[in-house]
Amino acid sequence: MKEISCKLLVVGAGPGGYVCAIRAGQLGVDTVIVEAKKPGGTCLTVGCIPSKALIHAAEEFEKIVHMAGGKGPLGISLSTPKLDLAKTVAWKDGIVGRLTGGVSSLLKKAKVKTVHGWARFRDGKTVEVETETGIQVIRAETVVIATGSVSVELPSLPFGGPVISSTEALALSKLPEKLVVVGGGYIGLELGTAFAKLGSQVSVVEAEPRILPQYDAELTRPVAKRLSELGVEVLTGAKAKGMSTKGDALLVETGDGAEKRLAADKVLVTVGRKPATEGWGLEELVLDRNGRSIHIDDQCRTSMRGVYAIGDVAGEPMLAHRAMAQGEMVAEIIAGHKRNWDKRCIPAICFTDPEVVTAGLLPDEARKTGAEIKVGQFPFSANGRAMTKLGEEGFVRVVARADNHVVLGIQAVGHGVSELSTAFGLAIEMGARLEDIAGTIHAHPTLGEGFQEAALKALGHALHI
């Protein structure tokens, strides 16, 4: 097989890689992208998109179960609902298929050559790809490493049999009667909540003192309350020790040192993700590292000339939208544009019930900057739209400097607040002050009014509370 030469080689077609390749192609850069699986990476194929599909299906099913029990206030009653999980998964797979096909079409439209197979570096300019028809050698002037991340495996709970990662959880054709989730972060709680709504008996084991430890207790309290309402058992300050001899239960050491046995058909391990740096021949490159991740500068350049790294492989925050923004930037730099990473914030969303959104600094983080701050918080219990959606749990919170009122952070917890994340990010990116948010007319009745009211509260004159 003859060698391929190109100006830009992108290794990995996840959100960062495919966006980088598409933008480079649009700018007339001769680009090749290598991907062993389907385009879209973890996020599109086995992560963000399929998990949100399952979460939506679970929400709809739980609503119907609630109505069938005659417990809802809306006056709606139904016969006993049933779940066909295999059909649900097939629907999810259909969405994924449409999106991966769309990415392939966009790459083709941008005149990007796609090579299917596993890439391995020979040096900083050359990779060899194991394709179905043999080894393909690709030489490039510039290389972008976009290999993503993989689930962290616990030594005491290796994947296999009843122990699964989020990938296997999203492909189950039969609902586990008893599911134990190891890890109370966003992945574990998103999937744990979904399976609880679908009818599984769910337990969550978290080593930290509380769930979602990256957020403050005020933000996570509504999530903990909802888990309790769904009958989810949450063990904090607890450590998973391993499976029972028969493989039908997880052995857990509780906070007081006692051992607890949690019966389980499946044990879902969601203790984090790590950069995918193994198996790519990266040892052939001289790359500085930050722990497991590849060290990059404000243009995503690595320690090797002509080699860039974007997305999860370059460390936290491991978010698809960060990878996409980096990919677009790097493509433009390679095409000769002047760009560098100057983002003020990267919004993060936890799709639990209720959802959690953060942009910028949390209150404690803002105080650590040494600045005096103002905090304004508005509850959804005083928001008309939230009431009509039975979503009165939660609030919007704005954190700003006390001297000039520049907004440093915005957070929210509540039903549907993920859709407010764009407004939050835009406000911080544009350098908004409390007066800018308070003075902007927010449509009524919407959840977004809570954003305006929180700013008014920080200024000392909230109108509806």
Is position 166 annotated in a ligand binding site? Answer: no
Is position 381 annotated in a ligand binding site? Answer: no
Is position 312 annotated in a ligand binding site? Answer: yes
Is position 392 annotated in a ligand binding site? Answer: no
Is position 206 annotated in a ligand binding site? Answer: yes
Is position 328 annotated in a ligand binding site? Answer: no
Is position 293 annotated in a ligand binding site? Answer: no
Is position 228 annotated in a ligand binding site? Answer: no
Is position 183 annotated in a ligand binding site? Answer: yes
Q: What residue spans of 47-184 are helical by DSSP H? A: 48-68, 85-109, 166-169
Q: What are phi and psi of 276, to 5 degrees?
A: -85, 90
> 142: which strand partners?
8
Is position 52 annotated in a ligand binding site? Answer: yes
Is position 235 annotated in a ligand binding site? Answer: no
Q: How far is CA 159 from the centre of its chain?
A: 21
Do residues 424 and 413 lie in contact, with contact meaning Cβ atoms separated by under 8 Å?
no
Is position 249 annotated in a ligand binding site? Answer: no
Compute the distance between CA of residue 416 and CA of residue 212 in angstroms, rounded to an integer: 18
Nearest to 199 by CA among 159, 168, 164, 172: 172
444 belongs to the catalytic site: yes
Is position 284 annotated in a ligand binding site? Answer: no
Is position 188 annotated in a ligand binding site? Answer: yes
Do residues 352 and 339 lie in contact, with contact meaning Cβ atoms separated by under 8 Å?
no
Is position 184 annotated in a ligand binding site? Answer: yes
Is position 272 annotated in a ligand binding site? Answer: yes
Do residues 398 and 458 lie in contact, with contact meaning Cβ atoms separated by under 8 Å?
yes
- String of b and e for 28-46 (b: at least 16 CB within 10 Å)? ebbbbbbbbebbbbbbbbb
Is position 318 annotated in a ligand binding site? Answer: yes
Is position 59 annotated in a ligand binding site? Answer: no
Nearest to 359 by CA among 320, 325, 410, 323: 410
Q: What are phi and psi of 94, to 5 degrees?
A: -65, -40
Q: What is the per-residue DSSP string for 315-358?
A: -SS--HHHHHHHHHHHHHHHTT-------S---EEE-SSSEEEE
Tokens of 426: 């835009």
Q: Which residue in this structure is represented by tokens 């062993």?
A: 36
- Neighbouring residues of 317: CB distance < 8 A, sequence distance ≥ 6: 346, 348
Residue 113, helix vs strand vs coil: strand
Give the DSSP H/E element, type plus range, for residue 5: strand 4-11
Is position 18 annotated in a ligand binding site? Answer: no
Tokens of 177: 């009667």
| Catalytic one of 66, 442, 444, 461 | 444
HSE of 219 in the Cβ direction (CA atoms, 13 Å)? Answer: 26
Do residues 155 and 242 lie in contact, with contact meaning Cβ atoms separated by under 8 Å?
no
For the annotated binding site for NAD(+), the residues are 183-190, 206, 272
Q: Which residues are catalytic?
A: 444
For the annotated binding site for FAD, the residues are 52, 147-149, 312, 318-321
For the annotated binding site, the residues are 52, 147-149, 183-190, 206, 272, 312, 318-321
